Amino acid sequence: MNRPRDAKSQENMSASTPFRPVLVGRKQSTAEASHTPSTDAAANRRVLYQGADPAAVHTAVASRLGPHRLHVPGGRIKANFRVLHEGDISIHELAYGARADMYLDGNTPDYLIPIRHRGWGRVIIDAVQSALSPCVLGPGRRARLCWEPDTSVVIVRIPGEVMDRATGYGTGGNPAGVGELGPYLDGTDPGVRQWLSLARDFSAMVDSAGHLAGSQLAARHFEQVLVHGLLSCAPAHAGGPQSETGSTEPSGLRRALAYCAEHAGEPISVGAVAAAAGMSVRTLQEKFRIHLGVTPVGHLRRVRLAGAHADLLNVAEGRSRETVTDIALRWGFGHLGRFGSMYRETYGQLPSQTLRHGAAESKISRAAG
C-alpha cells in the first residue's frame, strides 16, 4: 500500500515563496503557563496561516497536507489555516475565503480524508464530481478540491507509515479484506456514519481547550480507533458510484447536472431539469440537497457565473471584444445589477474589474500554483 515519495514531484509542486506564518499572541511567562489557557488563546496558537498571500498559504498548506497545486481564479484570498490536532495523525481546518482549486497528483504515501465541510465545496476524482466530504484521497489518486468563498473544510491526514502499521505492511502481514481505500464514502452506510461521527467528535474534543487536549494517551487511543475504523468501512466503497443504490451521485442526478451544463444560457426551469433527469421536482430538490448541498437553482446560478467569468477573462486577455452586458445576457442574467452583485460575492470583484485586471490576476493565480 505504501508508495515511494516522488522527491522531484514534491519539489516542483511546493510553492517557492518561503512560509511566512502569522504570529498570533506572545510567549507566556512561567506564571501564565501554569493556568489553563482560554479557548480563544488556544485557538490562536493553532493558527498556521491567516492572510491574503496565495503563495504563502500554499506553502503553509503544502508543509502540512502534502504537495499540491493551488489555483485562485480571482487572485485574492482571505485564508485561514489552523491545526486542530497533531499526533500520529493530524487534523486541520482550511478556508481560503475565495474561489480556489487544490490539485493533488497522488505522489504521496499519505491519506487525506475531508470529514466535514461548510459552504459549497466539491471534489472531482476520475472525472466524477461529488460533495467535498466525505472522501478518501490517497496514493496514486489524482483529485481536484474546489473551494467557494464560503467553504471551510476539516481534513484528517493519516501518514502512509501509520496506515502501513495498521494494515500490517512492512511487517510481512496484510489483514484479510484490506484493499484500496475509498475514494467514495457512502454516507448512508451505517459503518461509515459511525466512523464519521467518531472522527468529527474527536476533532471537536481535541480542538482548542477540548476535553482530550490535555490527555496524550487518550488522544493516541482515539487515533488508533480512527485508523482501524476507516480500514473497516472504506474498502467497501472503493469502486465509486456505479448505480443508483449507494452511489455518491446517482445517474439521475448526473443527468440533471449535464442538462444544466448544456442549457445554462437558456431560461430553463427546475421542472425542465427534473424532466431531463427523469424524476419529480421534489425528488430532484432532495437529491441536490443530499449530494450537492445546494438547490437546483443555486447550482444553475453557479454554472452560469462560472461561464460568465470565463468569458470575461477572454475579453480581458484580448480573445473577445464582448461587453459585460453581452456576456450577462448570454448566460441568462437579465438584471445587470443583480448579476454584478452575485459576481462580486463569488469572485471578489465586479465584472468590470475582471475586464480591466483579469489578465494580470490570471498571472498571479498561475504564479501561486
pLDDT in tens, 303-316: 888 888 888 887 88
Average pLDDT over residues 319-340: 88
- Banded pLDDT at 32 (limits 50, 70, 90): very low
Task: Write down the mean pLDDT value for the chain.
Answer: 76
In contact, 61 and 94? CB cutoff 8 Å: yes
Domain boundary among 237, 272, 301: 237
- Banded pLDDT at 238 (limits 50, 70, 90): very low
- Measured between alpha carbons, how far is 79 from 82 in angstroms, rounded to an integer? 10
Radius of gyration of the chain (CA): 22
Choice among 170-174, 184-188, 350-354 with the minimum mean pLDDT: 170-174
Q: In degrees, to the nearest 5, what angle opens at C-alpha 238 toward C-alphas 236 and 227? A: 70
- Banded pLDDT at 54 (limits 50, 70, 90): very high
Do 264 and 153 lie in a common domain?
no
pLDDT at residue number 170? 47
Domain boundary among 196, 211, 237: 237
Beta bridge partners of residue 71, listed in sequence order: 101
Q: Which amino acid, residue 183?
A: P
pLDDT digits (tens, 9 = 90+) for 145-162: 988 888 899 999 999 999
Average pLDDT over residues 239-263: 64
- Banded pLDDT at 213 (limits 50, 70, 90): low
Label the pairing between strands 128-131 and 100-104.
unpaired
Pick the most confident of 109-118, 188-197, 229-238: 109-118
Q: What would the grid cell of residue 9 be?
A: 514531484
Domain assignment of residue 184, yes or no: yes
Q: Which amino acid, residue 324?
A: V
Q: What would the grid cell of residue 210 be?
A: 477540548
Domain assignment of residue 148, yes or no: yes
| CATH code assigned at 316 | 1.10.10.60
Average pLDDT over residues 49-63: 94
pLDDT at residue number 219? 80
Beta bridge partners of residue 112, listed in sequence order: 137, 157
pLDDT digits (tens, 9 = 90+) for 90-104: 999 999 998 899 999
Q: Give the closest residue to 145 by CA, choosing from 108, 171, 113.
A: 113
Average pLDDT over residues 158-186: 68
Average pLDDT over residues 176-187: 63
Do 294 and 335 lie in a common domain?
yes
In contact, 48 and 12? CB cutoff 8 Å: no
- Banded pLDDT at 45 (limits 50, 70, 90): low
Domain boundary among 168, 202, 237: 237
Statement: residue 71 has pLDDT above 60: yes
* CA torsion, ordered 311, 317, 323, 327, to nearest 10 deg: 0
Cβ neighbour number for residue 160 with a 10 Å cutoff: 19
Average pLDDT over residues 82-90: 92
- Banded pLDDT at 73 (limits 50, 70, 90): confident
Statement: residue 362 has pLDDT above 50: no
Range of the domain at 205: 7-28+37-237
Statement: residue 241 has pLDDT above 70: no
Domain assignment of residue 247, yes or no: no
Statement: residue 274 has pLDDT above 60: yes
User: How many structural domains is the chain composed of?
Assistant: 2
Domain assignment of residue 245, yes or no: no
